Amino acid sequence: MSDPTETARKPVVTITYCIGCNWLLRAAWMSQELLSTFQEQLGGVTLVPGEIGGTFEITLDGEVIWERKRDGGFPDVKELKTRVRDHINPDQSLGHLDRETSGE
């Protein structure tokens, strides 16, 4: 079992989603992806039901790393994981997600 004070120092992602748009499943899927990839480096992922229509915002320790309206829609999993990785551990490999596409 890990030390609770160690977990408290790890970065936390917060995903705020629009409840009127039914984006809970999208937010939950993204949180699962982040927790699977960064399970040792994140202190948690929090889902927050947003009350403002169309809200979909992802923050890392309070810093906005994705905002649906600002960034043009929703991040694909590669972009989201890259942004999180670049903040918490830039040297970490994302495996096949780091490979360049062949253009096919």
Instruction: Summarize pLDDT for 47-100 with one digit per residue, the tens.
Output: 999 988 999 999 999 999 999 999 999 999 999 999 999 999 888 888 766 666
Do residues 49 and 17 make contact, with C-beta atoms less than 8 angstroms apart?
Answer: yes
DSSP string, 52-82: STT-EEEEETTEEEEEHHHHTS---HHHHHH
What CA–CA distance (Å, rounded) separates 56 from 69?
8
Instruction: Summarize pLDDT for 1-38 with one digit per residue, the tens.
Output: 556 555 458 999 999 999 999 999 999 999 999 999 99
66 contacts: CB under 8 Å, gap ≥ 6:
56, 57, 58, 75, 79, 80, 83
